[in-house]
Amino acid sequence: MNRKVTVIGAGIVGVATASYLRRDGHDVTIVDMGPPGEYCSFGNAGILSPGSCAPQSMPGIFWKVPGYLADPMGPLTVRWSHLPKAAPWLIRFIASSQRARVEQIADALRPLLKQTFDAYGPLVKHAGVTDLIRRTGYIAVYQSEEAYRGDALAWKLRRDRGVVIEKLDAAAIQRMAPALAKIYRVGLYLPEQGYVANPERLTKSLAAQFQKDGGRILQRKVLDIEAGPQGARALVTDAGKLPIETLVICAGVHSGELTAKIGEPVPIEAERGYHVTYSDPRVELPLPVMAPEGKLFVTPMEMGLRIAGQAEFAGIYAEPDYGRADVLAKHMQRMLPDISTADATKWMGRRPSMPDSMPVIGPSAKVPSVYYAFGHGHVGLCGGAPTARIIADLVAGRKPSIDVSPFRVNRF
């Protein structure tokens, strides 16, 4: 049965979801306060990693946090004024680091993310942008065997779930990425992974194709949702009321504000990250490079080389602190000493992060005909199209290809 579906959010999750729903023949409208692909989906590292099933909160994280915070080149910052607000989320985050829970999370994430290339395939083909998807694999590089051993469990979680990982020595790292500084002793090559050469163009291209296929995009801010026991009736927007029938909330980090309006609050935090993109770097990388010690990626994009990373807890609305991007720039110079830094742009984006590193995917537990697809944290690009296909299955009454119960909204 074809339905009238409204999707809040034109990030990669919302646009992919709207595209899959439209393919099923539904009458689909996206509502977003800005143009497609200009929020968190604009500036990520572009990594499509079907193997990224290790959660952010791993055993021992509690003891690592003080070191991260004390290190000026470290990956983590907390704005102290935001700490009281973030504390309940942070406590849940630490609680998720128990070994048994980490195994469960990896069991749930792997089947979802494993579908990434398969789920993007039909969308990029239809939109004529298959060039954006690069299946190069990536390498992860460590400066010491000890640092590598510190992450052993994260790699084991992946290997145990079938992710192909080949170990590299210093010479092999140099052969694969000759521009890298000769400071890396241990490397890993993950051949089944890949990346998107321009995440903004991906979202915008899929959105343009969605409109060509008869989908509508309205630029409005959703202020409230009118809902009752029968379902959601209307969106209250900055340009008046919009009657709705089936609703999908894909509003990234703002999703918690919206679910709260219908009595279903969720623990979601803005895990703010930064990037620096060098448009004329004068060095080349044939594939993305992950530097786990700095928790960052360098990706060869069509706009140049991009370094992306950092986790800053400062709330959704605080001004960016581009000092965090400067930290990434320093890492870049260490990693690629010959890089030309003349033409660089900086950006901050808000990862929509749940404390257990798992998105919320599935129906509302309270309001009929309302579905959720948000909270993908570090893997929203990778998880976008797989999530979209699942939501289309649920709306159509088909059984999704994976067990989605671990992603239910009322798991907290």
| Contact set with ligand FAD (CB under 6 A) | 8-14, 31-34, 39-41, 44-47, 221-222, 250-252, 254, 273-275, 297, 308, 349, 351-352, 374, 376-382
- Nearest CB to ligand FAD, comparing residues 367 and 379: 379
- Nearest CB to ligand FAD, comparing residues 96 and 203: 203
Question: Can you list the positions of beta strands (E) in 229-365?
Answer: 231-237, 240-243, 246-249, 269-278, 289-291, 296-301, 304-313, 344-353, 360-363
- Nearest CB to ligand FAD, comparing residues 114 and 254: 254
SS3 209: helix
In the complex, residue closest to ligand FAD by CB:
380
* Contact predicate 41/380, CB 8 Å: yes
Minimum distance, C-beta of residue 249 to ligand FAD, in the bound complex (Å): 9
* Contact predicate 18/37, CB 8 Å: no
Residue 238 DSSP code: B
- Nearest CB to ligand FAD, comparing residues 41 and 96: 41
Minimum distance, C-beta of residue 164 to ligand FAD, in the bound complex (Å): 19
- Nearest CB to ligand FAD, comparing residues 25 and 263: 263
Minimum distance, C-beta of residue 18 to ligand FAD, in the bound complex (Å): 11
Between CA 54 and CA 58 the distance in angstroms is 8
Minimum distance, C-beta of residue 135 to ligand FAD, in the bound complex (Å): 15
Minimum distance, C-beta of residue 403 to ligand FAD, in the bound complex (Å): 21
Beta bridge partners of residue 372, listed in sequence order: 249, 362
* Contact predicate 281/339, CB 8 Å: yes
Token pair for 78: 């907390």
- Nearest CB to ligand FAD, comparing residues 177 and 361: 361
Minimum distance, C-beta of residue 257 to ligand FAD, in the bound complex (Å): 7
Angle subtended by helix axes 380-396 and 116-127, to nearest 10: 80
